[in-house]
Amino acid sequence: MTRSHNPNGGTRRSKTRSVREAIYRAVINAALLPAVLLSAAGGAVVLYLAFALSGRVADDVRLQDTEQTRWYAAADDLAGDVARPSIRLDSQRADPRTPFVAPPREWAAADPVGARAPVVYGSPAHAIRRSLLLAAAGTTAVLLFLGLLLAAHTRAHGERIAGCVGAHLQALRWAADRVAAGDLSTRVGRFEHEEPEALALAFNRMAATLGEAQHRLRQRRALFETTLGAMRDGVVVVGPHGGIAYLNPAAAALLGRECTETIGLLASEMFDAPDSAGPWNALLDPDGPDEVDMVVAGNLTVQASRTHATAEGAAAGLVIVLRDVSREREADRTKADFVSHVSHELRTPLAAIIGFTETLLDEPELDPDTRAEFLTIVKTEALRLGNLVTDLLNLSMMESGRAELHVSLLSLSELACESVALVRPSFEEKGLSISVDAPQDVVVAADRDQMKSVLGNLLDNALKYTDVGGAKVDVFARDGYAVVAVSDSGCGIPPDEVHKVFERFYRARGTTEPGTGLGLAIAKTAVAAHGGHIRLESEYGAGTKVSVELPLPQTEE
């Protein structure tokens, strides 16, 4: 049997035990008196029966004595010595030689059992009565003794039983306390007596059932905790009175709170900041929306959706699921910005095309030079529109991975020379220099058209944003990469805008140069598709250098 010490309940328990033992003693003492009385009563009955029996026997004997007395009387008469009748009571001590005197016959009639009939001392009746009385007295004494013995034994046994039962009850109570304290492995041992033993077995069965039920509950709770703990979405349970009843770790992380510190808080007091508190409180409002977006700690955008929980048909509060939708919302914003930019970039050349076309149609009397000028503008803007659509398609294809790469071995030195030859007239027209520095031939495995487009874009930017000096193209190999770098002595990029240059539709601040703002975004995507990198270094007001790094082909040994 498992035992454990309870330091706080010792005194109280011993007092209780004393009281209980006192009760047992009182009960046993109360049982003693009836036992003795019963023994005494038994003795008395035995005595009475013995006395009655002795009287009947004496009566029979007395009849015989009468005959004998008559015989004695006759003998006396013959002797002439008539003695005075002498009557002696049974209790009187008589001279053994005193002769019998027959009692009057009416005595026997008046005392049918002969109990009070005088018995002649020394007669046979007297002898029999004395023997019976002695036997009865002895029996009574024995009965009394046995009664006392039984009483003493009962008392001793009772005390022992009381002691045992008290100990058993104590053990049961201790075990019940342990179970109540949560230790459902507690069992009581075997008891000596039947009833406590049955009670102990019932107790043990109850403890075992409780233990199994608790084990199942713990398993379920563990499953529940593990599941909710592993969820990426946050779960907040709000009780029927508006208090936070549960918060899983993901919810705590999203809300920037500790699980434990929020339990019991009113849900409506969770947030102070308007971006959070407004939507959150709307969600708690029974008439509010079922889904809201809220901005929480760390500028996360969290989508909170609620479900009304019911238990046995009654409202049991709210289950709120929180989901970090920052990326989705950012993607939505990017997409919206992109659509807005595309829309703007398409509408601008369209506005010129439509405006000048309408003018040409409305004014047939226009002079030929003006007409030719307007038609040239329409053509230019139509080509711009075409380029924009091509760039958008290329970018879309490359970003989605649908652009097919036609890879072949390509000399970057040759490609640089070809590209520079194409733009040299434009540079010279603007009074700018342009040169290539390719001390050795560097070969890469790449899509020729895409690389030509990338290099052409970099040279175009250098031409647009350089007013003095010129540009230079360097081709070399370094650390397993082929590098082609375009440097210019142009206006450079403000430091706070350098990180934006590869974004779609980025245009240098203050530029009035034509362009879609997609060139560097396309270049970055194309280079990345070849497993390379593109880097930009710029000194505002002094120039810019853009380097394209492509992995060198692995040589087989």
**Nearer to another protein among residue 330 and residue 363 (C-beta):** 363
Q: How far is the CB of 366 from another protein (least distance, A)?
A: 10
247, 263 Cβ separation under 8 angstroms: yes
Q: How far is the CB of 283 from another protein (least distance, A)?
A: 26
Per CB under 8 A, which of residues 338..357 are in contact with another protein?
340, 343-345, 347-348, 350-356
**Nearer to another protein among residue 308 and residue 507 (C-beta):** 507
452, 415 Cβ separation under 8 angstroms: yes
**Nearer to another protein among residue 205 and residue 379 (C-beta):** 379
Nearest Cα residue to 458 out of 475, 442, 441: 475
Q: How far is the CB of 498 from another protein (least distance, A)?
A: 18
**Nearer to another protein among residue 206 and residue 351 (C-beta):** 351
Q: What is the dihedral of CA 440, 441, 446, 452, to 10 degrees?
A: 80
Strand-strand pairing, 470-478 and 481-488 = antiparallel
47, 137 Cβ separation under 8 angstroms: yes
**Nearer to another protein among residue 264 and residue 514 (C-beta):** 514
386 Cβ neighbours under 8 A, 6+ residues apart: none
| CA-atom Rg of the chain in angstroms | 63
**Partners of residue 234 on adjacent β-strands:** 322
Per CB under 8 A, which of residues 494..533 are in contact with another protein?
507, 509-512
**Nearer to another protein among residue 271 and residue 374 (C-beta):** 374
- Of the residues 359, 387, 394, 426, which one makes contact with another protein according to CB under 8 A: 359
Q: Does 299 bind another protein (CB under 8 A)?
A: no
Per-residue binding string, another protein, 369-408, x by CB under 8 A, is --------x--xx---------------------------
480: its two tokens: 């397993």
* Helix (H) / strand (E) containing 234: strand 234-238
Total binding residues for another protein by CB under 8 A?
24
Per-position DSSP letters for 235-247, written without gaps between them: EEEE-TTSBEEEE
As a whole number of angstroms, the distance between CA 517 and CA 322 comes to 38
**Nearer to another protein among residue 153 and residue 344 (C-beta):** 344
Q: How far is the CB of 420 from another protein (least distance, A)?
A: 29
Q: How far is the CB of 349 from another protein (least distance, A)?
A: 8
Q: How far is the CB of 452 from another protein (least distance, A)?
A: 29
Q: How far is the CB of 399 from another protein (least distance, A)?
A: 24
Site of tokens 């009833």? 195
226 Cβ neighbours under 8 A, 6+ residues apart: none
Per CB under 8 A, which of residues 435..474 are in contact with another protein?
none
Q: How far is the CB of 491 from another protein (least distance, A)?
A: 13
Q: How far is Cα of residue 404 from the mean position of the Cα atoms in its chain?
A: 53
**Nearer to another protein among residue 128 and residue 366 (C-beta):** 366
Nearest Cα residue to 284 out of 300, 302, 308, 313: 308
Question: Site residues (CB under 8 A) for another protein?
Answer: 340, 343-345, 347-348, 350-356, 358-359, 362, 377, 380-381, 507, 509-512
